[in-house]
Structure 1
Amino acid sequence: MARTVELLLDPDLDRGVRALWDRLAASGARSLATHPHATNRPHVTLAVVPSLSGLPDLGLPVPVRLGPARMLGRALVLEVSGLREVHARVWAAVGSENPLHAPDRWVPHVSLALRATPGSDALLHGLPPMSGRAVAARSYDLPTRTVVGLPAGRDSAE
């Protein structure tokens, strides 16, 4: 069973990201604003794990900064800074089934659009960075498409 370890943003950052989703959709570009699943919300994925057992204390809240917008493969994302220490603790404790989450390859980001048209980042050129905090954590169960909240600080869970 594969589960994600994700960080959620404070209400102001969440609203700011959703406003960008809406801005992209209004311009006719692809956007997560049109993603219909009930679990769809702005987040940063730290890892994909078979079990939450051994997950370390996440030490939330943690200050973060979002921006600039860029293409990451075919996704339009906002870069996220401020999470390297949290990610390193998670990686050291539980690793990840996704090699792109290895510390030397991980690109912390919040997705704005998947399968975006190349150059979509130009729609958000010059966007000022947004600052706030990662305040909560959750785990998305990939097979069942459900989420459970994770405590912000603990020794282990399952």
Structure 2
Amino acid sequence: MRTVELLPDEATEARVRWVWGRLAEVGVPSLAGHRHATNRPHLTLTTAPELPWDVRPALARALSALPLPLRLEGTLCFKGRTSVLAWRVVTDVALAALQRRVWELLPGAGNPLFEPENWVPHLSLGRTRSGPGSWPAERLPAELSEPWEGRFTAARSYDTGSRTVERLI
């Protein structure tokens, strides 16, 4: 499986990593402990079984819309086999249009979570199998309640099979 992801500017990446660290310090599940070299803050636009070579020029054109504004505001908790705590990315018209275009370029991805009407943009902060109660509001860093503004400045693809990344722009 391949992803298409947007990467934030350096200041935003540092802020998210700082929050990961603060979560870990207070003993709640955080991505700070995920030490793989490819682990970094990102926004997933879609997933696909592969990134066909014939789609790449159009994908590069779509991603040339970067940089795009990024606004983080509030937290989300996704429930499932693994619960995820995330910082919500506020969607503007340009970001929604880019996500839709990337999703349209990679038909058959098969994950309904990335269909434009279902997509919930976020930057993951922590994952756990213990459930959403792992992130009590009183233990979350105060900075998560304050809006943060930055930019999406780059794009990459993560290959879940090889656990490698490919820079897209």
Q: Contact 1:71–1:121 (CA<8 Å) still a contact in 2? A: no
Rounded Cα–Cα distance in structure 1 between residues aligned with 2:35 and 2:145:
26
TM-score after normalising by structure 2: 0.82
Q: Contact 1:70–1:121 (CA<8 Å) still a contact in 2? A: no
| One of 55, 64, 72 as aligned partner of 1:66 | 72
CA deviation map 1:81-119 (0-9, x unaligned): 232111011112214332111111111010000116524
Q: Contact 2:22–2:141 (CA<8 Å) still a contact in 1? A: no
Rounded Cα–Cα distance in structure 1 between residues aligned with 2:136 and 2:156:
28
Count of residue pairs brought into register by the alignment: 150
Which runs of at least 4 in structure 1 moved beyond 6 Å after TM superposition?
A: none
- CA change 1:129–1:13 in 2 (3 A) is same
The code of the aligned residue for 1:132 comes to G
User: Which structure has more helix as a fraction of its residues?
Assistant: 2
| One of 145, 148, 152 as aligned partner of 2:163 | 145
2:156 aligned counterpart, secondary structure = strand
- Flag structure 1 segments of 5+ consecutive residues without an equivalent: 152-158
- Flag structure 2 segments of 5+ consecutive residues without an equivalent: none
Overall identity of the aligned pairs, in %: 45
In structure 1, the partner of 2:86 is 77
Rounded Cα–Cα distance in structure 1 between residues aligned with 2:146 and 2:131:
22
2:145 aligned counterpart, secondary structure = coil
